[in-house]
């Protein structure tokens, strides 16, 4: 069930990024050269985010497969009940971290949605070109500030996710070594 939610969350995030790219592309034709350059820069960053989303999705799926493999090994090995309980607690902690990452990604999606809503409001009508230029410049500065805030939050989250991923991989490796050792001990003392 969690795997389905993860897939859905990534699909929603990818669709939102694609919608944002389409919106930016349609607005690019009506804006000045400088604004077009800024929109092109934002489009590149959206494309980079899509690539990051795909790589995070792949890493998360691999981690979930490893967790599932660990769980099946825990179930099949009854040599050390206390260690099995510890492994289960660690698996649940890893699952909680994944849930926390999903929650944070949802919050980032909400922030991106607000930025998209503000981009839609750029299309307001004005009496003169100067009024339009002034209003759009103010709006662009405001949006750029929001964009930088979201980008900084995203960078912080990615760094945190990378550290958590490394911690989880270290746990998985240690558990794998422990399990192999226990299986070797069981195989040595219990004849087949």
Chain-wide mean pLDDT for the chain? 79
Q: How confident is the model at residue 119 (pLDDT cuts 50, 70, 90)?
A: low
* pLDDT recorded at residue 12: 82
Is the model's pLDDT at 109 over the cut of 60? yes
- Closest Cα partner for 154 from 45, 5, 34, 74? 45
Using CA atoms, how far apart are residues 25 and 181, in angstroms rounded to an integer? 57
Q: If you average pLDDT over each of 31-35, 60-64, 75-79, 165-169, which comes out highest?
A: 165-169
Is the model's pLDDT at 191 over the cut of 60? yes
Using CA atoms, how far apart are residues 122 and 95, in angstroms rounded to an integer? 41
Using CA atoms, how far apart are residues 146 and 138, in angstroms rounded to an integer? 13
Is the model's pLDDT at 3 over the cut of 60? no
62, 94 in Cβ contact below 8 A?
no
83, 182 in Cβ contact below 8 A?
yes
Using CA atoms, how far apart are residues 135 and 145, in angstroms rounded to an integer? 16
- How much of the chain, in percent, has pLDDT values that exceed 70? 80
Using CA atoms, how far apart are residues 35 and 90, in angstroms rounded to an integer? 50
- Which one has a higher pLDDT value, 9 or 146? 146
Q: How confident is the model at residue 2 (pLDDT cuts 50, 70, 90)?
A: very low
The predicted-structure confidence for 60-69, as pLDDT tens digits, reads as follows: 888 888 888 7
pTM, whole model, 2 decimals? 0.31
Using CA atoms, how far apart are residues 168 and 97, in angstroms rounded to an integer? 9
Is the model's pLDDT at 121 over the cut of 60? no
Mean pLDDT for 93-113 is 81
């Amino acid at each position: 069930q969690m795997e389905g939610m993860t897939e859905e969350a990534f699909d929603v995030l990818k669709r939102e990024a694609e919608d944002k790219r389409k919106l930016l592309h349609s607005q690019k034709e009506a804006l000045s050269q400088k604004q077009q350059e800024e929109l092109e820069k934002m489009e590149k960053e959206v494309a980079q985010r899509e690539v990051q989303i795909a790589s995070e999705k792949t890493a998360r799926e691999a981690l979930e497969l490893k967790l599932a493999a660990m769980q099946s090994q825990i179930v099949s090995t009854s040599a050390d009940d206390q260690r099995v309980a510890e492994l289960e607690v660690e698996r649940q902690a890893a699952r909680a971290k994944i849930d926390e990452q999903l929650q944070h990604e949802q919050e980032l999606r909400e922030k991106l949605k607000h930025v998209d809503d503000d981009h839609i409001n750029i299309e307001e009508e004005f009496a003169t070109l100067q009024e339009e230029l002034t209003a759009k410049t103010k709006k662009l500065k405001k949006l750029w500030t929001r964009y930088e805030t979201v980008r900084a939050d995203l960078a912080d989250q990615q760094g945190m996710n990378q550290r958590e991923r490394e911690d989880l991989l270290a746990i998985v490796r240690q558990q794998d070594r422990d399990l192999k050792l226990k299986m070797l001990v069981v195989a040595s003392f219990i004849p087949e």
